[in-house]
A and B are shown apart, each in its own frame.
Chain A
Amino acid sequence: MNTFLNGPNITGPAITLDSVYNKIFALIGLGAGFIYITFAILFFFRIKSLHNGLKTEAGKFIVMLALANIVVAVIISVFGFLLAMV
Chain B
Amino acid sequence: MYKKETVKEKLASHVEKTGIGTKHFLKAICVMPNLKFASQQTKEVPVLLVRRHPIFLIFGILSAFLWLFVGIIFNLAWKITLKGLVSEPLLLRLEGFTLLYAIGLTITSMIYSLSKWFYNLFLITNYRVVDLDFRTLNKTSWTEALLDRIEDIEVRNTGFLESLFNLGDIFVQTAGSRDKIEIRRIPKPMKVQNVLLELAQNMKKHEHIS
CB contact under 8 A between A80 and B38, given known A21-B86, A36-B104: no
Q: A: which residues have CB within 8 A of B?
A: 17-18, 21-22, 25, 29, 32, 36, 39-40, 42-43, 46-47, 49-50, 52-59, 62, 65-66, 68-69, 72-73, 75-76, 79-80, 83-84, 86
- In whole angstroms, what is the CA distance A66 to B36 when docked? 21
Shortest B158–chain A CB gap in Å is: 29
**Additional 18 contacts, C-beta under 8 A, given A53-B38, A56-B34:** A22-B90, A39-B137, A43-B112, A43-B137, A47-B115, A49-B140, A52-B38, A54-B119, A54-B121, A55-B37, A56-B25, A65-B111, A65-B114, A66-B115, A69-B107, A73-B104, A76-B103, A80-B97
| B132 near A54: Cβ-Cβ < 8 Å | yes
A80 engages B33 (CB within 8 Å): no
Which one, B25, B96, B123, contacts A57 given CB within 8 A?
B25
**Residue B127 interfacial (CB < 8 Å):** no
> Residue on A with the closest CB to B123?
A54
Question: Are B35's CB and A54's CB within 8 A?
Answer: yes
Main secondary structure of the interface of A (DSSP, over half): helix
Q: Which of B87, B104, B123 has the most CB of A within 10 A?
A: B104
Q: Knowing A18-B86, A36-B104, A69-B111 touch, does A58 contact B97 (C-beta < 8 A)?
A: no
Pull 14 A–B residue pairs with CB atoms less than 8 Å apart, ordered by A: A21-B90, A25-B93, A29-B97, A40-B108, A43-B108, A47-B115, A50-B140, A54-B37, A57-B25, A62-B119, A65-B111, A66-B111, A80-B100, A83-B93
Q: Indicate if B80 sits at the interface (CB-CB under 8 A).
A: no
Task: Contacts A29-B97, A72-B108, A86-B93 given; indicate if A56 touches B137 (C-beta within 8 A).
Answer: no
